[in-house]
Structure 1
Amino acid sequence: MPRPYPAEFRRDVVAVARKGDAPLSRIAKDFGISEATLHNWLKKADIEDGVRPGVTEQESAELRELRKRNRLLEQENEILRRAAAFFARELPPKMTYPLVLDLAADGIAVAVTCRVLGFSTQAFYKWCQDPVSQRDWDDAHLINAAFTIHADDPAFGYRFIADELPSRGITAGENRVQRLCSQQRIWSAFAKKRGLSRKSGPPVHDDLVAREFAADRPDKLWLTDITEHHTDEGKLYLCAIKDCFGGRIVGYSIDSRMTSELAVAALRNAIALRGPAGTIVHSDRGSQFRSRRFVELLSAKGLRGSMGRVGACGDNAAMESFFSLLQKNVLDRQRWASRDELRMAIVIWIERTYHRRRRQRGLGKLTPVEYETLNQAPLAA
């Protein structure tokens, strides 16, 4: 391919040709170029000087630059679109490198993709040479061992897991174990699950109780709340309703899901057994008790709703006390293999032990059933 003539040489030839001292054929021959080339140079010179219409070299360069920039913007938009779908899978950061390979196969430069995604090309090419580093390999083995240890005893947190790893031939620092357990959401059954807490919504009822958990007659004040416990099959949820007069559980519902139907079913059971009128039903600000179905059921049966403050356990302390007894006497007594097994244990403890065998000093050393039975006649009179 012939090399282009220098710009200065072209300008000189055009200047000589414009003087008109000799015909164009003679000038072309004198400078060693073809007559067609000279005509072409004269045409471009006239366009640059504005003598004839056309696209100048500057405009042509700007047009090429705009086309290049437009193509680059299209590539960047494609990278961001593909990356949004790719990152939605919540893969570890180093797993973004396969996306670079996919985009490169579609004609997008590696340098452009790395710049848009915010990492260096050196890191990408290093990953290409060694996709699975030794550190990642060791972390994978450590995570598998942590899952196995935690499955044997869900009460084990990262500290117990770190202490157990040497017996399985794995040496790792406690901070590293904590980081990996946090990434994989491996927590003790008794630990607070970070990042899973949700803010309570606005109350749909005022606080009509003000921490006064006493009642002078049955079905005057009910307390309700929801608790959960782990089994090998998954979580089991209990919504219970407690009568403050004698401490009896007047209604409850147990299910594998914590939905508004759980609270509504417990309230329906309590209404069917007791037939209350004008009863205050006090709860926290959980979404189940703020749901439209629960509020409509209260209104339809002539009950009055009441709600405590956010983050104030004392506003429902009497109900928390019952759940504490249930935790100590049933939930924490053993590891539960199935939901049905735990469900039967809860029901038996409530109906047999709590209602009819467990005497309470606040009731004059009577059981809740005995206390209600003895006070029915005086109340009727």
Structure 2
Amino acid sequence: MAVPGTIALLAALSMFGPFSIDTVFPAFAVMGRELGADTLAMQQVTSVYLLAFGAMSLFHGPLSDAVGRKPVMIVGILAYVLASIGCALSTSLPMLLAFRALQGATAGAGQIVARAVVRDLYSGPRAQAAMSQIIMIFAVAPALAPIVGGWILAFGPWPWIFWFLAAFGLAMAALTASRLPETHPPQARTPLRVGPLLAGLWEVGRQPTFLRIAMAGSLAFAGQFLYIAAAPIFVLDLLDLGEQDFWIFFVPTIGCMVLGAHLTGRAAGKIEPGRLASFGLAIALFAGVLNVTLQAIPGLPPLPWAVVGPALMAFGIAMVFPVLQVAMLDLFPHRRGAASSVGAFLTLMLNAALSGAVAPFVTDTRLHLAIASLVLVLLGWGLWRWHQRAAGLAGPADPVAP
């Protein structure tokens, strides 16, 4: 049985993603001027990170199934520290992108494997409650990261942000080594061979129920993530705010996310998980419609109305995420690392495409950004409804079935 300190550590390990992405946002304009990169080129600083994160995410989980959770975490985090130092020392955009790719390839060692650790420790409603607690703590990172980045930028040059990330990585490696128990014993491990590793990924990735659940959650979350990926443009250009003003967007959004995760944790064992997920997706869909409506009203001031929809959407998505994460891991009790990896891969590939190929082209106006966000949430909601019908016809035993 895990102690509260273990839950807090797992939440901190899950912060690698948002800290690596959001802390850099306030420095985009300065970095672009110094490195000779325009807005579209600077968006690749995020998309390259996400592409590498997603590609390597396929292997962090299966490796932890084979050699244990802690070794994969510690080695990956130390490699992340070296990549962050490389980013800090970069003198050109290609050099920075190369080290950002290495950052992405290693950051998932903590973030993805931590989800498998939760399911190693807990089952049933307790797993849902634990995942919700982690999300509540983890949710602080996207709100805190750009604020920290802005503070660092106010007192020093942009490389200091990456030195901060390197220090964060060193602290997490030390805490993981000294405080985190090994939750995957040798007798439960799978062979460390390429054939079985790839076979495990294929077993997970071709399961229709898994794919429906994973893609429903990924598409719905993409509606929220589009705003996160476009934050430098949304905050600095569309809202005409400054480099220290990212909190105006992130604080209400993440505050609603924490509240949604808290309610999901309280509902564990009391409300059927599938019903809870449907309710959260309905809220996210309503938020998307409300957001488009507000941005379409002529003469309406940008603030606070531009952040109302994204914040309410975050509330709904936070209710959905813990339920779907536990459901995906429960489908493969002997390959939880692989299930966590494939689920993360699908989400990250979609987010990378949004950051590099979509966000730059839908951020000319707040209305276009709101419409794109709504379309993504609508697709996730539709796929969830399809899953419910398919699961109902099959008479399944998975925990998110109607």
Q: Which has the larger radius of gyration?
A: 1
TM-score, normalised with respect to structure 2: 0.20
**Relative contact order (alpha carbons < 8 A, sep ≥ 6): 1 or 2 greater?**
2
TM-score, normalised with respect to structure 1: 0.21
Higher helix share goes to which structure? 2
